[in-house]
Every structure is written in C-alpha cells, then in structure tokens.
Amino acid sequence: MIIGIDLGTTNSLVAYYTDEGPKIIPNRLGKNLTPSVVSVDEDGQVFIGETAKERMQLYPDSSAAVFKRSMGSEKVYELSGKKFLSEELSALVLRALKEDAECYLQEEVTEAVISVPAYFNDERRKATKRAGELAGLKVERIISEPTAAAIAYGLYENRQNGKFLVFDLGGGTFDVSILELYDSIIEVRAVAGDNFLGGEDFTKVIEDIFFDKNPDIERESLTEKENRHVKKQAENCKMGFSGERYSNMTCKIGEQTYEMRLSLDEYEAKCDELLDKIRQPIKRSLSDANVRLKDIDRIVMVGGATKLSFIRKFVGKLFHNLPDTSINPDEAVALGAAVQGAMKERRDSIKEVILTDVCPFTLGTEVVVEKDNGRFEDGHFCPIIERNTTIPASRTERLYTVHDNQTQIRCKVLQGESRFASNNVTLGEIRIKVPKAEAGKESVDVTYTYDVNSILEVEIKVTSTGEIVKEIIKTNATDMSDEEIKERMEALSYLKIHPREKEENKLLLLRGERLYEESIGNERMYIEYALREFERALDTRDDGVIQGARNDFKEFLEDFAE
C-alpha cells in the first residue's frame, strides 16, 4: 500500500485510500494531527509530535520545531549534544507517521507520496525525498500541496472544465496555485508563494500585541523557556477566535501573571502587513497564468491558517467569490496525497487523472551586455526556461563570443528572478572551447531541458563545429538557504553608485527591479529597457537629465502596475 503524507511546518498527517475514499490515519495518541516537533533528552531519547511539543515548553534548548523552513539548507540543529539537519529531523517525523500507519493498517508500509509546497525549489524537494528515504520509505512521488488539495476536493471528478485557484496558507508557508481542468487532466498553470509566510507569523502578531500591552515585561531578558510559553499562549489565543469575537491570553512570567483580552477587529488590523504579503503571490500567479480574477471558477482553501475567519473573509472580498471550505483545511493535502498513491497503484475504484506541473523558478545563464560606449558589462541574467513553464520543457538560447580570438565560452547555470546574475542561485558551470575568430562570429546553442523529476540537463553545441558538451546539473545540500538568497538580493549593487543615494532614485529602482522579477516574457524586456534608460540618466550625473528621466520612469512604473 502507498500512503499519502502531508509533511507540514506545524503539523504532519498520514492518510490511505479505501474503497470509500481517502481516510486520515490517527497517530498513536488517537489524533489526526502530529506536531512537526522533535525533542531529545540528555539520555539520547528522541520524542516526536505531541510529546515533543509538550517537552519543548520545558526544554526548548533540546527541542526543534518549524524546521521545514530550513529544508535543503546547511542549518544545523543541536539537541542535547546531537546535531541534525532539517531533513534528518523531518525523517524522524516521517518515521513516526510510518509506524502509526503500520500499527493502524496491521501491515508493513514501505512506499509513500509526500507533499511539498508548490514554491519549494529543487533542492528542497530533493531534501524532502531524502528525508523519506531516511525514514525507510520509498518515495513514489513528491507532489505539490495545492495539486494534492485539488485532487482531495475531487476537482478531477467534476465533468465541467474550469479554472481553479488553490489558496494554501499553512503553518510556515504560503502557496497559491492556478489549475485548469479539462477532461481528465489537471494542468498547473502557475504557482507563486512565500516560503516564510504562514500561521506562525499570525501567531507572532499576537505575541507582539501582548508585549505592547505589557510594556513592563523586558522581552529581551526573557529566557527561551519563557519565550516558548508566551508563544504557546499566543497560539491558544489565536485558536480562541474560532467563532468568537474576543479571545483571552494569560501568561505567567516569573511570579507575575499577565492577562490580555484581544478583539478580533484589533487582531485583524494588526495583520494588515501580512495580508498585504498574501496579495503579491496571488497577483503574480494570475499574471503568469494570464488569468483574470473573474475567470476563476472555484477557490479552494487549504492549510490550518485558513481557519481564521478574517482570512476567509479577506479571500472572499478579494475574489468576490465564496471560497470552498467543505474539507477540513488541515487534512485536504494528506487526503489528496493518499488518492495520488492509489492512482500510482492503479486502483480499479479510482478514476485516473493526468497531472501536469510547472517549473517554479526561472532557469538561465549569465551573459554580458553592450553599453553605449561600446564596452561590455558582465553579470547580467539571461532567462532560458522561465518560471511557470509547463514541464517537461526544453528551451534553446544562442550566445555569441564578445572578444576577438576568444577560445572558450562559459555557461553559468543560474536559478532565480533577478536580472543580475549575482543575485540568483548558481547551480553549476560548464565551459566549451570555440575556434578563434572575430568577436561575434562564433556562437553556441545552449539548451536547457527540465523534466518532471526536477532534473536539469544542459547541452552546449558549438554551431560552427558541431561539438557538444552535455551535463546533468545536480544541486546538493550545501546550496544557500532562502534566507541567504534573500539577503543577497536585498544588497543590490546599484545602490552604491552615486547619485543613487537619493531616496527617490533608490525607491524607483527597487520598484522597477521588483516588477521585473514579478514579470516574464515581453513585459520583462519592456521593464529592463526602462530600467536601463533610467540607469543611463543616473550615470550622467546631470541633475536636469536625471529629473526628466525620473519623471518618465515613475510614470512608466505607475502605468505598468495598473
């Protein structure tokens, strides 16, 4: 039997398929949700789930939670002298789910379908697969959470074709996916999201409100244990809003007891910044899919954080359409993964459905561009397979030599959305020799092929000689984490160049870069052209020229953003 697993940031679940449909398997405590928490005592005993979560309140230094956010990175968690990577902690959670399934089903379980956020990059997906293998599972497939949710809602059984948006706000990640159903095919049209936005952040808002209302508490002086206590009480306060307009929070710090009564209206107002962060991935996914809000036939809500009433109200107002909440949002992904497992087993009782997926990030290479003075500037990014391209996909770009008598061409394989190569993630590098000739006379065809198993093949062919170099790009666990990538992207090189120190110039450049990263295809070309024109004006250091260019660029950005 192939089980389905939702390996979540806050909680994890396991499910299996029966003739009556998919069902959640209860854990050893008889609960459907297993907290994604690991704790290790001084004797080396490992605790998983609810026990570990409880222990974390007492021994926070030897416990770990929310480690899914670090999946695929080098971050090390030290618990009672033992060191773990995120995928190893995840493997412990998966092993506990496997044991629960075996106990419940009374049979050995060796295969699983595991879900991941749609916006997980290749290394995070591979780390998840490794976690399953470390837990003793053959991972039949890594399935995107929104796609699993779509299956759970039975969208593939709906005979009527249409477009669906899956809004997935979990404990630590946010995904929005646009899917199109036709016949027995579910095609993912676009995905977007934020790997650092989820229910944990909405809990932190309550923590911040609590400290604001109790200014006599010195937050920086609290112990880790006290901080964990506050966080737990904030989580309880958040859950208290289920069907209520007010919720209470009580914390004991030292010998003092602190209480807070919080209204839903005040809480919602304090979450405005988080709600704004939700809008951007929705806007990006609609743009990438070339779909308008009114074209969406159905909205599916997934993830525990969507149980907050004001989140559902926010989505309803945004789309002018009531979202579908007919399935427990905590369970939808696991149920869909179980159905996918049954499809892999080719069960007679289930309808076969074809699932297509997309490449979540743009893949490209580093190139040089010619400036007005005839000199070349390196460090620019050339997209080859753009994000949200249906996979498998193969794309070719022709590159030319830039120097006389050049003897080789270097292809730096990059992943990301910035127009500057240094701000994107380097996946590998390939070099190939070319015959000596005048600049621009020799060229190579660079072909990227990306398959459904997240494997990228790069082929470089010298057009004059026919010589070919081909390589499979394999990332590894030493890639930068998302936090490090984010830090690098914030440190944009152009902010250091005079006169860009002027605040309005900085703001317009950053806004232009953001729009560039959010766009694809021809729109990217228009934005890059406008950016270069503005940068050219800044390079003149002539205040009059800069003022005129700034007005033009500002008007362009405003028109483009409409």
Catalytic residue numbers read: 6, 68, 145, 168
Contacts for 84 with CB less than 8 Å, ≥ 6 apart: 38, 64, 76, 77, 78
First to last CA, the chain: 51
- And the tokens for 162? 């249409």
From the number of C-beta atoms within 10 Å of its C-beta (0-12, 13-18, 19+), residue 322 rates as exposed
For residue 208, the surrounding DSSP H or E stretch is helix 199-213
Q: How many residues does the chain have?
A: 562
**Beta-carbon count within 10 A of 133 CB:** 14
249 and 210 in contact (C-beta within 8 Å)? yes
Q: Which residues pair with 470 in a beta bridge?
A: 459
From the number of C-beta atoms within 10 Å of its C-beta (0-12, 13-18, 19+), residue 136 rates as middle
- And the tokens for 247? 């919720």
DSSP labels for 303-362?
SGGGGSHHHHHHHHHHHTSPPB--S-TTTHHHHHHHHHHHHHTT-TTS---EEEEE-SS-
- And the tokens for 417? 């959305």
10 and 66 in contact (C-beta within 8 Å)? yes
- How far does Cα 524 stand from its chain's mean position? 22
Residue labelled with tokens 């049209």: 189
- How far does Cα 171 stand from its chain's mean position? 13
How far apart CA 538 and CA 60 sit, in angstroms, is 52
How far apart CA 6 and CA 182 sit, in angstroms, is 26
How far apart CA 102 and CA 109 sit, in angstroms, is 6
214 and 227 in contact (C-beta within 8 Å)? no
How far apart CA 415 and CA 225 sit, in angstroms, is 40
113 and 141 in contact (C-beta within 8 Å)? yes
- And the tokens for 354? 């074809």
